Amino acid sequence: MKKSLTILAIESSCDETAAAVIINGQIKSSIIASQAQIHAKFGGVVPEVAARSHITAVIPTIDKTLKKARIKLTDLDFIAVTQGPGLATSLMVGVDTAKALGAVLNIPVIPINHLEAHIYANFMNHESQIMNQKFPALILTVSGGHTMLILMSGHGRYKIVGQTVDDAAGEAFDKTAKMLGLGYPGGPQIAKLAKRGNPQAFDFPRPMINSANLNFSFSGLKTAVLYKIMEHKSWNMKQKANLAASVQQAIIDVLISKLEKAVKKFKPKTIMLGGGVAANEMLRSRFSKLGKKYHLPYSIPKFEYCTDNAAMIGLAAYYKITKHVTRNTKHNFSAQPNLALK
């Protein structure tokens, strides 16, 4: 009997075309073709441009990842692909490619929820401190499209206990960067600039920080930033750095405060961080401090697995195959732009 379990994972939910090979739960290769430069001139992702770039990049990216893992298509046992949430036309490219390959190779194709995959970026065999973590786990997922607190009671079992009622935290970073005339994506630019600024320079609102529930809101912060920027005709670099540091501080204060509230309420056995904003150094540091304060095992994905990648898609599939969930062998699913985490 064949002992190894080889998965090709494909991710195309937004503006990164990514493919990875996972063998027995280990990442053998992970390739990302980023479209960031293409979208930078528009100041954000243009869906049709993204879809066409995925069509161009998807097969070369798969080829590269197979070569790097030193395997052939015929070595694959499963294909995993992001089904949603994301941009419809971007998702379709990955889903169609995965299903076509699955049909030709006569192997199962597993649809994966992108949000679930961000959680599974914490389950990396080679270096995670908490591979055998205990449930329930509390996860703070922060990306360009989502801000959520998720209680995970076991593999594949989730309850959303808090989420944004308007903008996502990543969006607040991106829009601030856009207003300051910085590049796209904005999060890393704000974080870089913030290092040179004073986080107390501007007293921005911390929306819903004192509300009883675990929800978030970032649209008021965005408006406050806009009004502040309009107060001056031009902004020098020092002022921009102060503004970046103050906005970053406001966003992270809210995230950490709600996380702490959730820790007290649910008393999880472990906490995890996920999504593109998890690449933010200040958030990583405040998150680990909170873990230490409550003597909780905590996990933060390796830097390169925070933003969109296919390795996390493959890992989510690996756990679905080995731990619990049925596999879809019929290739009968479609892209779901609004796919919920259930």
The angle formed by the CA atoms of residues 30, 147 and 266, to the nearest 5 degrees, is 105
Pick between residue 102 and residue 275 the one whose CB is nearest to ligand KG4: 275
Nearest distance from C-beta of residue 194 to ligand KG4, angstroms = 9
| Residue 94 sits in the site that holds ligand KG4 (CB under 6 A) | no
C-alpha 287/C-alpha 240 separation (Å) is: 26
Q: Residue 60 has which token pair?
A: 């070369």
Q: Which of Zn ion, ligand KG4, none lies near 167, with the C-beta cut-off 5 to 8 A by kind?
A: none
Residues 260-299 that bind ligand KG4 (CB under 6 A): 275-277, 279-280
Could you check whether the bond before residue 47 is cis, i.e. omega within 30 degrees of 0? no
- Supply 287's token pair: 């998150």
Query: Binding of ligand KG4 at residue 314 (CB under 6 A)?
Result: no
- Which residue is closest to ligand KG4 by CB? 276
Q: What b-and-e string marks burial along 137-152, b requiring 16 or more CB atoms within 10 Å of the CB?
A: bbbbbbbbbbbbbbbb
Shortest distance, position 308 Cβ to Zn ion, whole Å: 4
Distance (Å, rounded) from C-alpha 192 to C-alpha 60?
Answer: 32
The b-or-e profile of 34-64 (16+ CB within 10 A means b, else e) is: bbeeebeeebebbeeebbbbbbebbeebbee
The site map against ligand KG4 for 121-150 (x = CB under 6 A) is: ----------------------xxx-----
From the list Zn ion, ligand KG4, none, pick the one residue 187 interacts with, judged by a Cβ distance below 5 to 8 Å according to partner type.
ligand KG4
Number of residues that bind ligand KG4 (CB under 6 A): 19
Handedness of CA 235, 195, 192, 225 (dihedral sign): negative
What does the CA dihedral 42, 45, 51, 55 come to, rounded to 10 degrees? 80
Q: Could you tell which of ligand KG4, Zn ion, none binds residue 186, using a CB distance below 5 to 8 A set by kind? A: ligand KG4
Token couple for 191: 């974080």
Q: Is residue 161 within the footprint of ligand KG4 (CB under 6 A)? A: no
Least Å from the CB of residue 1 to Zn ion: 36
Tell me: does residue 170 bind ligand KG4 (CB under 6 A).
yes
Contacts with ligand KG4 in 232-251 (CB under 6 A)?
none
96 in Cβ contact with 67 (< 8 Å)? no
CB of 317 to ligand KG4, least distance (A): 18
- In angstroms, the Cα distances linking 202 to 171, 174, 232, 238, 243 are 20, 18, 14, 13, 7
In whole angstroms, the minimum distance from the beta carbon of 173 to ligand KG4 comes to 4
**Closest CB 174 distance from Zn ion, rounded Å:** 13
CA atoms within 13 A on the CB side of 182: 23
Interaction partner, residue 191 (Zn ion, ligand KG4, none; CB < 5-8 Å by kind)? ligand KG4
* Binding letters toward ligand KG4, positions 178-217, x by CB under 6 A: -------xxxx--x--------------------------
Site for ligand KG4 contains 14 (CB under 6 A) = yes
Torsion of CA 238, 244, 247, 249, to 10 degrees: -90
Residues that bind Zn ion (CB under 5 A): 143, 308
Instruction: Pick from 21, 54, 307, 314 the residue near ligand KG4 by CB under 6 A.
Output: 307
Contact residues toward ligand KG4 (CB under 6 A) are: 14, 143-145, 170, 173-174, 185-188, 191, 275-277, 279-280, 307-308
